[in-house]
Structure 1
Amino acid sequence: MSSPTYTVSLWFRRILVPIDGSENSMRALELATDFSLRYGSRLTLLHVCYDCNEVEHLRKKVDERVAGKIEYDFRTVKLGNDSSVANEILNIINQDTYDAVIMGARGTSVNSDINIGSTVLSVAANASITVIIVR
């Protein structure tokens, strides 16, 4: 048996993790944290918000989940009237050099019958990089 080559680490050097505080986004954060610990991936957490009043609460929730295991960058983007969360995520992907996006299958929408949200569908369909969807 040969030793591991860690080729995967080259595929996931920089990972974008959109978070909104939903349980699915927190599970995506946990997977991204595991990638960071295993492969040395650099994580950028992205919160796109309308009024951004919940940013400090979200940062505290994130810190509770990762509990000093990893270092990460935290970015907040205020959503304008002429944009959408998916567009802002895609803009960030296109502005910077990320290797992958790890995101929850659905966010904070009220309808729990929906298995996959419109934001993740749009990002998965339009991103030029690997998108991992966490349920």
Structure 2
Amino acid sequence: MNYEPTYTVSLWFRKILVPIDGSENSLRALELATDFSLRYGSKVSVLYVCSTCEDIEHIRKKVDERVGKKIEYEFKVIKIQKESSVSNEILRTVNEDTYDAILLGSRGTSVNSDINIGSVALSVTANASVTVIIVR
């Protein structure tokens, strides 16, 4: 039986947020978002949440190396306030800008490689009101 392709999934991923911390897992999440953008026309926003924000250019360079000129994307930087956290800022961004999905790495740049899922990924997954895809 021949079926016509459907693009229902494109409605689920119209606007994607990809939090980046420079870790390999977060960059793989960006690659998946890039693929969604190429296949389904998803709009991709890359979010870098930082406390000192000294390495913005380094992170942006890593993002450009992975994405290249394949897609257009928005690059956002949020500086953490004392009373907030990385996961709170990600969730606030999702709620303010009406994203359809979050694609994030399973764990960030922590030293302990025995952890399968980091605290930020766990918190975002538990509290997000949209689809969350965790990339390993």
Cross-structure match for 2:104: 103
For residues 30-65 of structure 1, the C-alpha deviation after alignment (integer angstroms, 9 at most, x for no partner) is 001000000000000000001101001111111111
TM-score (norm 1): 0.99
Cross-structure match for 2:118: 117
SS of aligned partner of 1:76: strand
Structure 1 segments (4+ residues) deviating >2 Å = none
Does the alignment pair 1:52 with 2:53?
Answer: yes
TM-score (norm 2): 0.98
Does the alignment pair 1:19 with 2:20?
Answer: yes
For residues 1-35 of structure 1, the C-alpha deviation after alignment (integer angstroms, 9 at most, x for no partner) is 12101110011000000000000000000001000
Residue ranges of structure 2 left out of the alignment (5+ in a row):
none
Kindly state the Cα deviation for residue 80 of structure 1 after the two structures are TM-superposed: 1.0
Residue ranges of structure 1 left out of the alignment (5+ in a row):
none
Cross-structure match for 1:130: 131
Matches of 2:5 and 2:98, distance apart in 1: 26
Cross-structure match for 1:33: 34
